[in-house]
Structures are given as C-alpha cells and as structure tokens.
Amino acid sequence: MNKLILTALLCGIGLTGFSQSAPKPYGALPSARQLKWQETEMYCLIHFGPDTYTDKEWGDGDEDEAIVNPTRFSAMQIVGAAKAGGFKGVIVVAKHHDGFCLWPTKTTEHNISKSPYKNGKGDILREYREACDKLGMKMGVYCSPWDRNSALYGKPEYVTEVYRKQLQELYSNYGPLFEVWHDGANGGDGYYGGAKEKRTIDRSTYYGWDETWGIARKLQPNATIFGDVGPDVRWVGNERGMAGETCWATYTPHSPEAGKAPGNGFVLDKEGTEGHRDGKYWMPAECDVALRPGWFYHATQDEQVKSPATLLDLYYKSVGRGACLDLGLSPNRLGLLDDHDVTSLAEFGNIVKETFKINLAKGATITASNVRGKNKLKYGPANLVDNDRYTYWATDDNVTTPQLILNLHQPKTFNVVRLRENIKLGQRIDAVAIDAWVDGKWEEVATATSIGGNRLIRLKDDVTASKVRLRITAAAVSPALSDFGLFKEAALNN
C-alpha cells in the first residue's frame, strides 16, 4: 500500500467516526488557576519584620517601627537563593499578626515608612517585586487578617477600612500574584492601639470572606486563594510540610456551613492531610514548613537549618504526593538569608535538578493492555514519556485496571518512579502497582494510592531491570495517565 492510500484511509477513519471522543471528566475538576498552581510545585514563604528584631514568633503589635532596619536588605539575594533551590516563586509576608506593614500603606502608620530603612522611603514589597521580575520568579502575598496593632481590630471597620484596603493596595500595586495567603491564626491578646486586651472574633463570619476574596478575584484573577479550607488551595493540616501517603486533591469542608461553598469551614488535621476521595471541591493541599525551627529568624537557630537530605524527604512527601511545598525562609536582621540557609537550598535544588534531568523511560517501547478507541495515536501510551501534563494515555470507558509495559531494551537502574494523571479530567486512579522484570519474572517493587497531578514513588532500594510494568489496580473510571517516568536519584554531598 503506498503512502498516499494509507493517509487517505487514515483520514477516512477519522472522518467516519472511528476516532473515539475523550474520556468524560470525573468528579470535581481544577480551575485554570489551580492547574497553574499545580505546575508551580514549590515556592517559599518569607517572614521578616519586627519579630526578626525582637526574637519573637508572634509580635504583640506594640513594637516600635524604628527597630526594623535591614541595612543590607537584598531581595535579589533572598529570591535568588530560593531560585537556586528550584523554587518557582515566593510568597512575601507583607503583614504578620503584629500589624507592621512592609510596604508604605495608607491604612496605618505602623509601616516601613516610619522606620529608618532608606530614611523612610523604603518599600520592601516593591523590592521583592523587582527581584521576582528580574529572576523570572512568581510572587504572592500573605497579609495577616489578625492584626494585634490595630485599634479597630474586632470592629467591622477593621475589615472594611483596614484589612480590605490593605489587600486592595497589595493586589493593585504588586502583581501579578500567583497566590494570596490567608493564615488561620485569629484573635486573642494584643496591643490594639493601646487597649492591651483580648479580642475574639468569629473567624467564619468576621472577615466576610466572600467579599474579601472577591477583591482577589477582581484584581488578581489568576491568583489562587489559600486558606485553611481553600477556597482554591487547602492547608495540609500540619506545619511539618507533609501530605498524607494517600492525598486526594478533592475536599469537602466541615462546618455548620459545610459544603455550601469552598472556603467555609475549618480543617480537621487528618482530613487536610489526606483530603477526601470524591470530595465536593477541587482543593489540593499546600504543605507549609519552615527551613528553620521558627518562621522568623533567630540567631540561636543557625545550626538548625534543615539539611538538603531533610528537604529532599519533604519534597517527596509533599510535591511527590500531589501537593505543593511552601518552604518558610527567614531573612536575618541585615535583611539577608544566612549562609547556612543559602547552602542548604542550593544543594537541595541541585539534587532535584540532577535527579529529574534524565528520564530513563525515554526511548522505551511501550505496550498497553488497552488503548482507547481506534485512534491509537491520540490516546496511546507513547504519550506518557517526556510530554506535558495533559497529553495522556487513555483506555476504553469499561477498562479501569489496565497494565502497561515499558521495554527499556537494556537493564537500567532507577529508584524513583513518577506518575501523573491528566487532572483536567479529574482524579480517576485509586491505586497502582509497579513491577520490575528481575531474573526472568515480574517482581512487585512498589504500590501507591492517589496519583493526581504528581506522584513520586521513592523506592527503598535501587532496581535494575530491562522491563518495568505498571498495573493500575483500582480506578473509579477509566484512567487518563499523562506520565510514567523512571529516575535515579542524584547523590547527596553530605
């Protein structure tokens, strides 16, 4: 058969309806901004302010502005160190619970313009923005709802005249933002303009979240909103940086308002960690953890900076479980990251980069037990290696436990397996097993549950095999897998 006839026949097949339509999406689905967030994978959360100078973690709100004077502040050094660590963005704590604003806000005197920094002309947020632009890094902001400085805190005017206006300033002047961060610490003792008392608020109603979040939607429509229970990204339920071994991107919040809208309710630690299979909303987990024991810099913790090996472990337990890693960085009183921090970040970044540089599955011949429809190219297993996150292998609707084999043609040694689903079609797979062809037979080397946007399986031992098999052992509907990669972890220097 000559080429022309073959092409004509193939076109005919396409036209006569042999090519099958894409699988129907399953369950809650990610928004465009959540897809971008998923691809970001790792970013940093930068805490710096009066606490850096008072050696505290939570300032009372009565700190003198004059203490904040980072004489050598370099956003380039800080953001550059994050970039060297492989992080793709930074979230700047623009205001922590003590109420001090790192930008010259109109909403309160308690801000950087009242400090000696650059003779009152400084704007730390602007410097971060410029550094992010120069270095090609994404930027986000954290503006604490709880404000222990404001005399108005606890009254409705605090929300309408202070907090929301601060968000407006930040979202209008320092974008584009990829995430806006809302911490869950709320109300208690504080300075409150000199009142020095305890103020309690109802955290689910006081801030009028729907309207508050509306500001982000209007001014920064591409930013994901992080909160204890979303609405876009949920807290993982611990500050140890770890998602559950099983971690679903879907979630149903609990509260009297449960299920009415994402973002309402509170997080139950374990459920934040694992999510809910078939949860009502697409609301993946963010794993926050500080590089040091505290979020703010304390000289006494210089020797307790997490090692590259610890960071790598956290990487597998967050990014490797379909969540994002949000690592806390703590510039010192000079306004720089300490050498310990810079070194650890660089070494960690290097290991991740080297590990994932060579996909050992590349060049493999791949055979699948089932390929969707007749159009084997469109949904074929060749889509799995070195393609984007949304080019995928799919099976017929009635096939939920298919298998596929990578023939590597020669023995290759690996100890990391990467799997990804095309999450545009939802989270479909419940469980998988990986087998290696060793001594003339299949040997199971790993199993895993939830896959979602990313699943890294770190094997206990190196595996050397010329054939590797993936078995999807349980799925709610026909799988739509976009990645099956094999890697060999780079060696740690220490």
Q: Using CB under 6 A, list all residues that contact ligand FUL.
A: 45, 57-58, 183-185, 288, 295
Whether the Cβ atoms of residue 224 and residue 177 lie closer than 8 Å to each other: no
CB-nearer residue toward ligand FUL: 57 or 161 = 57
37 vs 379 by CB, closer to ligand FUL = 37
446, amino acid identity: A
Q: Which is nearer to ligand FUL, 304 or 365 (CB)?
A: 304
Per DSSP (E only), the strands in 374-428 are 393-394, 403-421
174 or 295, CB closer to ligand FUL? 295
Within 10 angstroms of residue 446's Cβ, the number of other Cβ atoms is 15
Rounded least distance, CB 183 to ligand FUL, Å: 3
Inter-residue contact 284 to 243 (CB < 8 Å): no
Question: Cα–Cα distance between 8 and 1 in angstroms, integer?
Answer: 11
**Which pair of tokens denotes residue 82?**
């994050």
Provide the minimum distance between the beta carbon of 181 and ligand FUL in the complex, in angstroms, as a whole number.
8
Residues 6+ apart with CB under 8 A from 356: 418, 487
For ligand FUL, give the closer residue by CB, 295 or 297: 295
Report the residue number whose CB is nearest to ligand FUL.
183
CB of 277 to ligand FUL, least distance (A): 27
208 with 288: CB under 8 angstroms?
no
Q: Counting Cβ atoms within 10 Å, is residue 162 exposed (0-12), middle (13-18) or buried (19+)?
A: buried
Residue 81 or 143 with smaller CB distance to ligand FUL: 143
Within 10 Å of residue 15's Cβ, how many Cβ atoms? 9
Q: Return the SS3 of 13.
A: helix
Cβ 237 to ligand FUL shortest distance, Å: 12
Closest to ligand FUL by CB, 103 or 248: 103
Shortest Å distance, C-beta 448 to ligand FUL: 29
Query: Between residues 311 and 361, which has the closer beta carbon with respect to ligand FUL?
Result: 311
- Alpha carbons 190 and 110: distance in angstroms, whole number: 14
Q: Which residue has the tokens 């050598």?
A: 72
Distance CA 386, CA 337 (A): 35
Q: Which is nearer to ligand FUL, 78 or 470 (CB)?
A: 78
From 177, 197, 176, 175, select the one nearest 187 (Cα to Cα).
197
> Based on the number of CB atoms within 10 Å of its own CB, is 23 exposed (0-12), middle (13-18) or buried (19 or more)?
buried
Residue 295 Cβ, how far from ligand FUL at the closest point, in Å?
Answer: 5
Minimum distance of ligand FUL from residue 472's CB (angstroms): 37
Residue 327 or 470: the one with the smaller Cβ distance to ligand FUL is 327
Pick the closest to residue 220 from 181, 253, 183 (CA basis).
181
**Residue 276 tokens, joined:** 């809910």
**Least distance to ligand FUL, CB of residue 111, Å:** 18
* Dihedral pair phi/psi, residue 263, rounded to 5°: 100, -25
Shortest Cβ distance from residue 293 to ligand FUL (Å)?
13
Greatest CA separation for the chain: 90
CB nearer ligand FUL, residue 57 or residue 62? 57
Nearest distance from residue 68's CB to ligand FUL, in Å? 17
Write out the DSSP string of 70-108.
-TT--HHHHHHHHHHTT--EEEEEEE-TT--BSS--SS-
Instruction: Work out how close the CB of 31 gets to ligand FUL at its nearest, in angstroms, rounded to a whole number.
Output: 24
